[in-house]
Amino acid sequence: MKRLGAVIHIMDNLLIVRTDSTLEHSVFRENLLVLTGKMKKIGKIKEIFGPVKAPYISIKMFKDIKSSEIKGLKNERVYLQ
């Protein structure tokens, strides 16, 4: 499990994450599984955008994630499986 970054914005069924500066850019790509710190699967990487040294990532949430859980992810760290 590798630390991906912190959730900075929530929109409908998308999370926007600022990647961790210690993460190698070759580690993440589209469709990789994303987990919470409690090892719960929350979605997959949809898109990578922004500056090369510190990109942002959009994560498409799984449909079974409750809205109360999504709101609790703001500023939380998420991880790659």
Residue predicted with more confidence, 71 or 24: 71
Nearest to 15 by CA among 39, 37, 42: 42
Cα-based distances in Å from 26 to 30, 45, 71? 11, 14, 29
pLDDT digits 0-9 by tens, 35-67: 999 999 999 999 999 988 889 999 999 999 888
pLDDT of residue 43: 96
d(CA 29, CA 11): 21
Phi, psi of 17 (to 5 degrees): -120, 135
* Topology (CATH level 3) of domain 2-80: Thrombin, subunit H (2.40.10)
How open is the CA angle 7-5-61, to the nearest 5 degrees?
50
Mean pLDDT of 10-24: 88
